[in-house]
Amino acid sequence: MDYYKYQVITDPINNEVLIALMSLQPFDTFVENDNGFDAFLPKSSESTEIEEFMKDLQTRFEFKFDQEFIKGENWNKIWESNFNPIQVDDFCGLRAEFHPSMSGVEHELVITPKMAFGTGHHETTFMMIQLMRGIDFKGKKVLDYGCGTGLLAILASKLGASFIDAIDIEEASYQNTIENCETNKVVNVNAFQGNIKIVDGQRYGIVLANINRNVILDSLDTLSDLVLEKGTAVFSGFVKEDQNKMHNALAENGFVIQKTLTKNNWMAVQCTVSSRQ
């Protein structure tokens, strides 16, 4: 897949709020630096609305931006220059194949840095992993909705899940999930390219959904049907300003919040499904 890189030049103090607002658009990856951050937009999402959105942001925040077209085959070089190992407490370490092995963690995952979201660098992925630590995956059937690199599906397998369905609408994510499962010697992940309808009629003990607010809101009624009664669902991809809206929508669809995490301006929630009539 081809991408547009938006190089946002600003005081890094603005990074948090700008990334939060831009994540509501089809930007799917952000890489922070000393001069601001880079935001990556799939070429298929490029539109005049995005340009108008960016110009509107400039009326509210002080920043400049340049746009650069990036062919898909150049993506690896970009990630290799930016991708650093990540450690989530003493629970999970994430690295690329070109990094040395990590020590002092329960689970080490090797993720090839291609153009799929989910390297652990983003706050939402970090919090999803933190919440997964306290969930019993043993023998459970799991859905990873919006799987990106397949990182969460792979971790679920390492934690004892019996079977994992991993779905992403992007072909690059689908392919990357397959590759990363092979790298990590995980054989019980079934990857699909497409939307939530692919698993219609299935039931899962655990659902993991690290996408974005709009996709979560649009899918909650379906996701509620997919989770077994008293099963677990973990959601992330929304900011603090959306907390009330998300909590109300979760309650309306039968989810009961058990835990909430925040990291910078981002949130993640762990829920169970209330008893069905």
Tell me the three-class secondary structure of the chain, residue by residue: CCEEEEEEECCHHHHHHHHHHHCCCCCCEEEEECCEEEEEEEHHHCCHHHHHHHHHHHCCCCCEEEEEEECHHHHHHHHHHHCCCEEECCCEEEECCCCCCCCCCCEEEECCCCCCCCCCCCHHHHHHHHHHCCCCCCCCEEEEECCCCCHHHHHHHHCCCCEEEEEECCHHHHHHHHHHHHHCCCCCEEEEECCHHHHCCCCEEEEEEECCHHHHHHHHHHHHHHEEEEEEEEEEEEEHHHHHHHHHHHHHCCEEEEEEEEECCEEEEEEEECCCC
User: What pLDDT shows up at residue 116?
Assistant: 43
Span of 114-128, 161-175, 178-192, 250-264 with lowest mean pLDDT: 114-128
> Are 271 and 255 spatial neighbours (Cβ–Cβ below 8 Å)?
yes
pLDDT band at 187 (very low <50, low <70, confident <90, very high): very high
CATH number for 123-273 (one of 3.40.50.2300, 3.40.50.720, 3.90.550.10, 3.40.50.150): it is 3.40.50.150
Overall fold of domain 3-74: Alpha-Beta Plaits (3.30.70)
**Nearest CA among 24, 28, 21 for reference residue 170:** 28
pTM for this entry: 0.76
Per the CB < 8 A criterion, the answer to whether 178 and 188 are in contact is no
Query: Bigger pLDDT: 221 or 27?
Result: 221
As a whole-number percent, the residues of the chain with pLDDT over 90 amount to 55
**Whether the predicted pLDDT of 20 surpasses 70:** yes
Q: How far apart are CA 38 and CA 45, in angstroms?
A: 16
Length of the chain counted residue by residue: 277
Percentage of the chain lying above the pLDDT 70 cut: 91
CA–CA distance, 175 with 149 (Å, rounded to integer): 9
List the end-to-end C-alpha distance of the chain, in Å, as a whole number: 45
105-152, pLDDT tens digit by residue? 999 999 875 654 445 567 888 999 999 999 999 999 999 999 988 999
**Do the beta carbons of residue 228 and residue 203 sit within 8 Å?**
yes
CB atoms under 10 Å from CB of 257, counted, come to 15
Domain boundaries, the chain: 3-74, 123-273
Name the amino acid, one letter, at 130: Q
Render pLDDT for 58-112 as a digit per residue (tens, 0 to 9).
Answer: 999 999 999 988 776 555 566 666 667 889 999 999 988 878 899 899 999 998 7
